[in-house]
Amino acid sequence: MITTATPLLDANKRPPPQERDYVSYSAMSTYRRCPLSYFFRYKLGLPEETVSASLVFGTAIHRGLERHFRELLAGNPAPSVEEMMAEYDRGWTERRDQEVTFGQSETRVTLDGLATRMFEAFLASDAAQPGGRILGVEETLRGEFVPGMPDLLGRVDLIVEAEDALVICDWKTSRSKWSASQVEDATEQLLCYAALAGDFAPGKPIQLEFSILTKTKEIQIERHQQRVEPRHVERQRQIAHRAWQAIEAEHFYPAPSPMNCSSCPYRRPCQAWCG
């Protein structure tokens, strides 16, 4: 039995987070995964008590990749592994005030070694030289996605104009190769962004691309491509619309899941929540 709601009561004394005039895909995804987690983060503005090492690692790897593509965009030579690792280290430094939880057999040292091997494999691969003209790196997109909803705001890892398509690229790290269903699930986010990216190359079809850096002994880089179909974009509009209606109606409740709860940064306020 829960005998105190102190953590949540204390949280309610905080000033509410600043109202946004936009909504992000990550916010919508958070609501769909767990409405109460959305409430804690976006309504109460609670800080995350912990963060998983895998999340910090993935963000830090993104920083190194961003450095690489920004140098290419500027017409400069590709950065070295050491330069990419310097960006990677800054990604960890940004989280120094949070408790980072490591998985079994994970340490900062082992992850640093893995990052070095990932950057080495990346620079030796075709993926390091996009087949087209780079138009944007960590590009912010904003615009109307669903009439009546706030603007959708998103950030795209890489936008490339190829000869026959506008390519929206997303980089991921993974413990293993992706299955077809993982690719399909991840496509939802890029479908939303594809609806906002047409102005980069008017008239060209949009292609989505996922590049996966695997955390295996021998680093592999998988690339999955998919054309954008209007019916798939419309489905995402309907999903976003339904989720936003539920948020507006303040339907907030816990959604227990063995996959999500173990790494949730809001475990204590969730356990104290009484409705």
Domain limits, the chain: 133-241
Q: What share of residues in the chain are helix, strand, coil (percent, to 5)?
A: 45, 20, 35
Residue 17's pLDDT is what? 59
Q: What is the pTM of this model?
A: 0.86
Residue 264's pLDDT is what? 87
- Cα–Cα distance list, 164 to 18, 126, 227 (Å): 42, 19, 12
Tell me the mean pLDDT in the region 21-47. 95
* Length of the chain measured in residues: 275
In this structure, is the dihedral angle defined by the CA atoms of residues 207, 171, 156 and 242, taken in order, positive or negative? positive
pLDDT digits (tens, 9 = 90+) for 228-266: 889 999 999 999 999 999 999 999 999 998 888 887 889
Question: By three-state DSSP, how is residue 3 classified?
Answer: coil
What whole-number distance in Å separates Cα of residue 84 and Cα of residue 82? 5
Q: Quick one: fold of 133-241?
A: Lambda Exonuclease; Chain A (3.90.320)
Q: What percent of the chain is predicted at pLDDT more than 70?
A: 93
How many CA atoms lie within 13 Å of 113's alpha carbon, on the beta-carbon side? 7
Per the prediction, the chain carries an average pLDDT of 90
**Residue whose pair of structure tokens reads 């829960």 in the numeric block:** 2
What whole-number distance in Å separates Cα of residue 122 and Cα of residue 62? 12
pLDDT digits (tens, 9 = 90+) for 139-174: 999 999 999 999 999 999 999 999 999 999 999 999
